Amino acid sequence: MALIFKDETFRDDFTYKNSPATIRRFPFPFIEDQYRYSVNIEPHTPGPKGSVYEFTFDIDEHYVSEMRDRAMVLQEDPGRCQALPHMMTAQWDMLELVMVSLARDYPDLFTLHRDGAHWHWINKPLNIDQKFTFGEVNSLPYEPMEYVGRQIQGDFSLQDQRDGQLWMDAGIITSQADWSLDFDVGMNFFEWHAPVPLAHEAGVFERALKFLLNMQIGQPVRRLNWTMTINPRLDTSPENYPKWGKDRTTVTPENVGEKVHLRVELQGLFRLPRSNAILFSIRGYLMSLEQIVTVPKWGRRLPRVLKSLPPELIEYKGLARYRQTAIDWLEKYDDGAPTSPGGGPD
């Protein structure tokens, strides 16, 4: 199926919406009616045709508009993209992985010709035609991470591995769920997860780190994470909290279905070959409650999950002001019928 890219906004008038086909492929993250914290890591192997797992990196109908929003964020705040000097090899590793994957998986959209270090990259949707020398920073208009980061949906961070730790020493982060790259860059795995409640005590991060340190080339993994966002706003950064924080007080029983969005992150982790760094991709999907309930299973399950959240998590994810309003509205769509296991629609 050829992709038709939508012309839409993630700010001001918020015209973002999912088409019916995109609703069906939404990675609904709740596999049962009860909320349970789990690391839920699985191999990032190709999933069913048409699913968000089909390819290494997922490109969908929102691609062109999302890239436009990213360019606006970077224009306003260049600090959303940062790389410490020792991360240049990892940046090239990332560029190679992204270009090779996109050209292989979406040949109608992207082309990559390689002749030794002479590379030719064509990005049709964004009208980019770039010849450059692999390994030579000056042959690209931006550093490699920023160059490809401006052409792929999702946020990315690069982790250096040393002293039995992972250090987030680079990233391009413009659509984050309330964390600051500028503040966190240079931190280790435990440090940048410091604000997350409950999981430290459960030993979750220790186990996850040990797993990640031994990740192998060519064996990527993935997991899902989620939060909720008012309006389909990509840039919910702490930097701009004064701009979007107020939105949380605007939810009413009348507009909750339209305003409140479930925000799902498909997180991928890749061992990069030359730098031994780990690439972390955070691919976000937004869907309004209105659109979620068009899938009956999700309409039944979501209110049940929201009711079972521990208070620390409600606080951490910033749901307190509108969670009850959302549950009250969603319960109209829960007829009490049992739901099938797994997250996908029936």
Partner 1 sequence: MSGFPLRRVRVAEVEQVAARIKRFRFVDIDNAPLSQFSGGSHISVVMHSGDRLMRNPYSLMGSPTDTSSYQISVLHCGADSRGGSKFMHENVAVGSELEISQPLNLFPPVRLAKKHVLVAGGIGITPFMSMMNELDALRSDFELHYGVRSLEDGAYCKYLQSRYGSRVNVYRQDQGQMIPLDAILGEQRLGTHMYVCGPKPMIDWALQTAELQGWPQENLHSEQFSAPPPGKPFVVKLAKSGREIAVKGHQSILEALEEHGVDASFLCRGGACGQCETGVIACDGYIDHNDHFLSEAERVGGKKIMICMSRIQTGSITLDL
Partner 2 sequence: MTISTIKSRPIYPGLSPDLNARSNIIVCDKAGAAAVTELFSRADATFAKRSTVFIADALQETEAATARKDLAPATLEILPSLSAGIVRLREFLDNAPMGLRLYAAGTEPLIGSVVQAAADYGIDHLSIRTEHRGSLMRRVQCVHCKGFTENVTTNPVTCSHCGLTLFVRDHYSRRLAAFQGVCIDAENPGDVPPMEAIYQ
Q: Which residues bind partner 1 (CB under 8 A)?
A: 86-87, 89, 160-163, 210, 213-214, 216-219, 273-276
Cα-based distances in Å from 41 to 81, 143, 208, 268, 345: 27, 31, 9, 9, 21
Q: Which is nearer to partner 1, 96 or 235 (CB)?
A: 96
Q: Which is nearer to partner 2, 54 or 191 (CB)?
A: 191
Dmax over CA atoms of the chain, in Å, equals 61
- Of 237-296, binders to partner 2 (CB under 8 A) are 238-242, 245-246, 248-249
* Near partner 2 by CB under 8 A: residue from 103, 185, 224, 319: 185
Q: Which is nearer to partner 1, 127 or 216 (CB)?
A: 216
Minimum distance, C-beta of residue 274 to partner 1, in the bound complex (Å): 5
Minimum distance, C-beta of residue 269 to partner 1, in the bound complex (Å): 14
Bridge partners for 229 per DSSP? 261
Q: Is-catalytic flag, 233?
A: no
The CA distance from 174 to 281, in Å, is: 12
Asked whether 53 and 221 are in contact (CB, 8 A), the reply is: no
86 binds, among partner 2, partner 1, none (CB under 5 to 8 A by kind): partner 1
192 makes contact with partner 2 (CB under 8 A): yes
Q: Which is nearer to partner 2, 125 or 245 (CB)?
A: 245
Side-by-side strand order, sheet with 128-133? 110-115, 118-123, 128-133
Marked catalytic residue, from 68, 223, 248, 321: 223
Distance, C-alpha 4 to centroid of its chain = 21
37 makes contact with partner 2 (CB under 8 A): no
Alpha-carbon dihedral of residues 46, 47, 50, 54, nearest 10 degrees?
Answer: -20
User: What H or E segment, with its residue span, contains residue 169?
Assistant: strand 165-172
68 binds, among partner 1, partner 2, none (CB under 5 to 8 A by kind): none
What is the DSSP code string of 102-154? Answer: HHHH-TTTEEEEEETTEEEEEETTTTEEEEEETT-GGGSSS-HHHHHHTTSSS
User: What H or E segment, with its residue span, contains residue 201?
Assistant: none
Minimum distance, C-beta of residue 93 to partner 1, in the bound complex (Å): 9
Asked whether 231 and 289 are in contact (CB, 8 A), the reply is: no
202 makes contact with partner 2 (CB under 8 A): no
294 binds, among partner 2, partner 1, none (CB under 5 to 8 A by kind): none
Minimum distance, C-beta of residue 16 to partner 1, in the bound complex (Å): 38
Q: Which is nearer to partner 1, 75 or 216 (CB)?
A: 216
Q: Give me the residues that bind partner 2 (CB under 8 A), please.
A: 79, 163, 180, 182-187, 190-195, 200, 238-242, 245-246, 248-249, 321
Return the active site residues. Answer: 223
